[in-house]
Structure 1
């Protein structure tokens, strides 16, 4: 019968009557058929259950209760109808039950219970290639692997949802179908599925213990306190990973005693102790991540720790299912989780999302410390930011003048871009070491700082702290832009007038001045260029975070501090000061160099190979308008092109800041895996604060005004 199953499936799929389809499918069920045929039959049955549409009962199997509830999930309706048909046909029921039991008996379930959804490759491209290969070459149904069968039966992420939502009566009837009377010719099941759960749990605990005791993880669990332990070995025995395997062996011994007739009290005690150790292992992984964020993030280490955390969650899930074997919903939850994990392990989209979240957290953590310096939370810090911004505007005056000199030389575009990049880089580095501020550089570094406060938004106090930080950030950005523009514009205008008075010449020609104003016009590509410039600003923060992470991970500061030649040349204290100087400035120097070179070279490269693109930076553009106004004279105030250029500079101020901040903040949100509902509630809280206290956006409010109940 099964030798012609392909011809049957083709004919069966052509039928549009769901009831007749099911009858035809059940009629060929044969529990004595070869394994591949039984697997293929199960796959077709699963596809029939997942198929939408109403069920039309066949005349031979119509019952009084076969009409399904229209309010139920379609898959549930079809399972209910299937069970009704099987109850009416004992022969069909015996074959279906035999096929289900044989599936568990003859298939390797450990691969599904232990490995489904667990990452295999630490590298992104290796995992990506593996998933593309799996999508092109699906597993064959003759593999005695439960993971392959589950993947072929449930290939949609929605399957886990309807499996988890199965009602109690259906779960009870499905379990009864597995326990249906066996034929005397059918081989008896020697390994119940509960023992498969126990074996999978043993496998997972060994893997968790092995990873936790490896040198890469053990060295990041914290310092061993040998004073209290008296012995390093004794201290190690206190680690939960060390005790986990022995606890699992104790659970298995207690279970065997229960099978032999002993009381379950010992088993419950050992299971509770195992749960406690799994909880301690989960806390230990959090400590590892905290160590990584302080001392550098390694992709391989993060991969191992993240997989260990997933195994701990899976072990807890298996333990719950094993202990609640009488609860049908526990088995449904386990099945839904395994189906979801199996689908996630084959999904390219899930791989991209998870890797982006990991990258986001890595970059965010190393940008946060730098960004904290750019948020003015009180009046003293606000005035300090104004002074820093004014200093940045003063340096930008020189940058604008040198920029006009470079463009006036009419060099080849790439060479001109390189010189412009060097000009920007020198200016940004000078601002960095003089502790000045450039407004549009701040958002990409300050948004990650807010991401740290996202961890506390589960409480009202945490939400209030987050909203206060956002308003402080907006206020600080306004102060920085204002400080830059109010200094760079008049000083550039004064430099042009002074140059003309001393040398009877202009920094740029009148034609160049008109072209400059026209290029900044709001009605044109200026908003697009300003948004793209914001992307470059954000990209520089990524490179700064990566450089800082590399510096800390490889402990370059320690290598410098203990370098023999440096100590002989500078002395011990001098080498330590050099190491601290490099540690404090490596992110800023890397970010400024990359930003300067990108602002100079990227427009030249994009213009050469794609489309016309020019940098539109609010501070640089405001200085350029000052020079152009000085060249054209006061009559320019009557020209519309001046005011369109001023409007364009206003759009630059908004888009430079908004785009770089939005990208960085999006990365911060992804690093915390916040739900959309949480993000919407935070957005609502921000708007509520803006409407209630709008003055906070322009001037810091005293602490007493915000919290009158607090004592100063």
Structure 2
């Protein structure tokens, strides 16, 4: 490191080469080696503090690089979403990864990639504490220079970047979708427009001061007020979007607006020449953000995450509202859930019969998949229309509700998880009674159908050969029941996302209002019935769509596996319970009790797998959409087990009133 600083003192040394050598000396052998990274940074601090000529050479090389390159693109493009479509962004990144563009030495954006070529550089840079970074800044002793020794070109490039960002911010802020969700812009002058005018006036004054070689007028408080007003508008639009739905383009515009505002605030600090500016966490954050963006500029995964994260928030937000209906507070609500689940169990008993008869028909594969899919899809939709409940549909909804109740990142107290623990207790007992309602009715109904079938027609719904196969399919390992149940859990998770997506789509596109206003529908049904139909669609479109697509997935996966030669199928707890009943009836209730017990155990394991997979996936997506991580739930488990062991009955039976039993534990 010292040899690199010595070579920097040579007047003929190349700034890019010298700075790259210094960064190479700072870089640890492994990006995860935080100790070495910190020690190297502190070693640089020591050398700069002890040798004035070293720090003078470093400043000279740095200013030589900044004073001879164009910096605007680095500040305005790097780390900010570009104005391109989703597929164009992926295509560009894949193309650049396969055939990287040439490096233009006139642009700092390109040279940034030369200085930080390793794709993991941002990891060790972020691992260095900000206090150490500030020590490096202090060791450079920039106060030894007057502001006029800093090349004017650097300030002009920063001002130009501010101007570009301001113009883009104004343009995005006046997009039709933004204005649609904030109609006040049409009545009052938009702060996005006034901001651009103020920024242009500020830049003009600053340039005049630089030309006259006098301290610049750095009064930009009014600009920051306008930026705050722009952020207020963004918050209002988000609030409207949460109520009325959001689109991909709207979330994209809002994210770009926030990024432009944040970058503008940092650049105003960058042109600030006060001594306090060099200790700004925002400036350090900008440097680290630029390095990370440079390291990951060809990452396709980042494009996928950036374009779906905010929309996923809206989808899971609607799912969390739906999830509130799947949580029982009192004994009355708990028993109502049992009745609702029991009704679904009755219908599933008949759906299982239709599935068996369809399989007996030995239809062509695609026609068979269609028949299975329609049986599942229409059956699940009928269950919803009749206000019944399929237990396994609950986790995808309640997971989003749990993620929404998670304490904020700033709240580190364990007591803050008390409310969340109580919510989980309610979810578990509601899920328990829903499963009991499904299974306790599905199996007896299937037995009743099988007995009536034999009594009326003289033969069983399934023969013993088919019954043996159905029993074998319930075996957790030999019958692949766990694996197939996990596939069904994935389908349940996807159905939950689909429900949230269609709820969001219904609100954003005003589908209920459009249905109520359809002239033909009003003519046929009348204005009152059309309006009621629109209201029904508003509250049920997501659930109906989720049930329909869930049925399609369950009915077609087996055929897809057959066509592709892959071991794909599904196992669902309620249908497995009905199938077990049909298999028992085929042997006229003469099966040995260990076989029945193994079958019942298989049904239980299938149910646990259904719930665990769907809940885990749904919780992960809900947490990620809120930029949270599953590890944040770690403080929850100890408190949950203490609460569960103190009164285990609450895990299975709801109290008569929510205040007497539960609130005493809260």
TM-score category (smaller protein): 0.7 to 0.9
Q: Distance in 2 between matches of 1:308 and 1:181?
A: 32
Q: Which of 501, 526, 534 in structure 2 is aligned with 1:579?
A: 534
Give the drift of 1:573.
2.0
Greater shift, 190-199 or 119-128, is seen at: 190-199
Q: 2:168 matched to 1:207?
A: yes
Q: Which of 283, 289, 303 in structure 1 is aligned with 2:252?
A: 303
User: Is 2:422–2:662's contact at 8 Å kept on the other side of the alignment?
Assistant: no
Equivalent residues in 2 for 1:399-414, closer than 5 Å? 399-414=351-366
User: Is 2:28–2:37's contact at 8 Å kept on the other side of the alignment?
Assistant: no
Per-residue deviation, residues 297-353 of structure 1 (Å, max 9, x unmatched): 211221111011011122222233444641333354543343234434444443344
Q: 2:195 matched to 1:244?
A: yes
Greater shift, 439-448 or 139-148, is seen at: 139-148
Q: Which of 222, 228, 232 in structure 2 is aligned with 1:283?
A: 232
User: Is 2:558–2:570's contact at 8 Å kept on the other side of the alignment?
Assistant: yes
Closer/same/farther in 2, CA of residues 455 and 20 from structure 1, 3 Å limit = closer
Per-residue deviation, residues 386-413 of structure 1 (Å, max 9, x unmatched): 0000100111111111122122223333
Which residue in 2 is equivalent to 1:9? none
Q: Distance in 1 between matches of 2:10 and 2:208?
A: 44
Which residue in 2 is equivalent to 1:621? 576
Q: Which of 145, 157, 166 in structure 1 is aligned with 2:122?
A: 157
Considering only aligned residues, what root-mean-square deviation do their CA atoms show, in Å?
3.4
Per-residue deviation, residues 169-222 of structure 1 (Å, max 9, x unmatched): 53233244994999xxxxx7651645544443343333223322332212212x
Per-residue deviation, residues 237-272 of structure 1 (Å, max 9, x unmatched): 3x43343234435655776898889999xx67x533
Closer/same/farther in 2, CA of residues 333 and 446 from structure 1, 3 Å limit = closer
Closer/same/farther in 2, CA of residues 22 and 577 from structure 1, 3 Å limit = same
Q: Distance in 2 between matches of 1:603 and 1:287?
A: 47
Per-residue deviation, residues 612-668 of structure 1 (Å, max 9, x unmatched): 233211111111111221221333143x33221111100011111111111111110
Closer/same/farther in 2, CA of residues 48 and 450 from structure 1, 3 Å limit = same
Per-residue deviation, residues 469-521 of structure 1 (Å, max 9, x unmatched): 22211111111110011111122112222322333221111222222112212
Q: TM-score, normalised by structure 2?
A: 0.87
Which residue in 2 is equivalent to 1:448? 400
User: Is 2:560–2:568's contact at 8 Å kept on the other side of the alignment?
Assistant: no
Q: 2:279 matched to 1:329?
A: yes
Q: Distance in 1 between matches of 2:542 and 2:309?
A: 22
Give the drift of 1:584.
2.5
Which residue in 2 is equivalent to 1:370? 322
Q: 2:435 matched to 1:516?
A: no
Q: Distance in 2 between matches of 1:679 and 1:709?
A: 23
Which residue in 2 is equivalent to 1:14? none
Closer/same/farther in 2, CA of residues 588 and 336 from structure 1, 3 Å limit = closer
User: Is 1:208–1:312's contact at 8 Å kept on the other side of the alignment?
Assistant: yes
Q: 2:31 matched to 1:73?
A: no
Q: Distance in 2 between matches of 1:642 and 1:504?
A: 24
Q: 2:55 matched to 1:100?
A: no
Closer/same/farther in 2, CA of residues 47 and 216 from structure 1, 3 Å limit = same
Which residue in 1 is equivalent to 2:23? 46
Per-residue deviation, residues 55-105 of structure 1 (Å, max 9, x unmatched): xxxxxxxxxxxxxxx987243155347648975xx6x88765543222111
User: Is 2:327–2:430's contact at 8 Å kept on the other side of the alignment?
Assistant: yes
Equivalent residues in 2 for 1:378-393, closer than 5 Å? 378-393=330-345
Greater shift, 419-428 or 354-363, is seen at: 354-363
Q: Which of 112, 118, 132 in structure 1 is aligned with 2:94?
A: 132
Q: Distance in 1 between matches of 2:458 and 2:630?
A: 62
Q: Which of 172, 177, 186 in structure 2 is aligned with 1:216?
A: 177
Give the drift of 1:280.
2.8
Which residue in 2 is equivalent to 1:679? 633
User: Is 2:342–2:441's contact at 8 Å kept on the other side of the alignment?
Assistant: yes
Closer/same/farther in 2, CA of residues 648 and 143 from structure 1, 3 Å limit = same
Determine helix, strand or coil for the equivalent of 1:549: helix
Q: Distance in 2 between matches of 1:326 and 1:705?
A: 60
Q: Which of 410, 426, 431 in structure 2 is aligned with 1:472?
A: 426
Q: Distance in 1 between matches of 2:604 and 2:207?
A: 76
Q: Distance in 1 between matches of 2:273 and 2:288?
A: 16
Which residue in 2 is equivalent to 1:57? none
Closer/same/farther in 2, CA of residues 335 and 476 from structure 1, 3 Å limit = same
Q: Distance in 1 between matches of 2:540 and 2:36?
A: 63
Structure ID, larger Rg: 1
Closer/same/farther in 2, CA of residues 154 and 179 from structure 1, 3 Å limit = farther
Greater shift, 295-304 or 172-181, is seen at: 172-181
Give the drift of 1:604.
1.2
Closer/same/farther in 2, CA of residues 679 and 401 from structure 1, 3 Å limit = same
Give the drift of 1:465.
3.1
Closer/same/farther in 2, CA of residues 590 and 169 from structure 1, 3 Å limit = closer
Closer/same/farther in 2, CA of residues 140 and 41 from structure 1, 3 Å limit = farther
Give the drift of 1:442.
2.0
Q: TM-score, normalised by structure 1?
A: 0.82
Q: Which of 264, 279, 296 in structure 2 is aligned with 1:315?
A: 264
Q: Which of 124, 129, 132 in structure 2 is aligned with 1:166?
A: 132
Determine helix, strand or coil for the equivalent of 1:705: coil
Q: 2:486 matched to 1:535?
A: no
Q: Which of 3, 8, 12 in structure 2 is aligned with 1:30?
A: 12
User: Is 1:278–1:312's contact at 8 Å kept on the other side of the alignment?
Assistant: yes
User: Is 2:329–2:658's contact at 8 Å kept on the other side of the alignment?
Assistant: no
Structure 1: runs of 5 or more not aligned: 1-17, 32-36, 54-69, 183-187, 225-231
Q: Distance in 1 between matches of 2:296 and 2:267?
A: 18
Closer/same/farther in 2, CA of residues 518 and 169 from structure 1, 3 Å limit = closer
Structure 2: runs of 5 or more not aligned: none
Q: Distance in 1 between matches of 2:147 and 2:326?
A: 73
Q: Distance in 2 between matches of 1:141 and 1:84?
A: 35
Greater shift, 479-488 or 165-174, is seen at: 165-174
Determine helix, strand or coil for the equivalent of 1:373: helix
Q: Distance in 2 between matches of 1:507 and 1:74?
A: 76
Greater shift, 202-211 or 696-705, is seen at: 202-211
Q: Distance in 1 between matches of 2:252 and 2:136?
A: 40
User: Is 1:499–1:507's contact at 8 Å kept on the other side of the alignment?
Assistant: yes
Give the drift of 1:379.
1.8
Q: Which of 495, 503, 523 in structure 2 is aligned with 1:548?
A: 503
Q: Distance in 2 between matches of 1:128 and 1:294?
A: 31
Q: Distance in 2 between matches of 1:694 and 1:397?
A: 32
Q: Which of 650, 653, 665 in structure 2 is aligned with 1:699?
A: 653
User: Is 2:20–2:115's contact at 8 Å kept on the other side of the alignment?
Assistant: yes
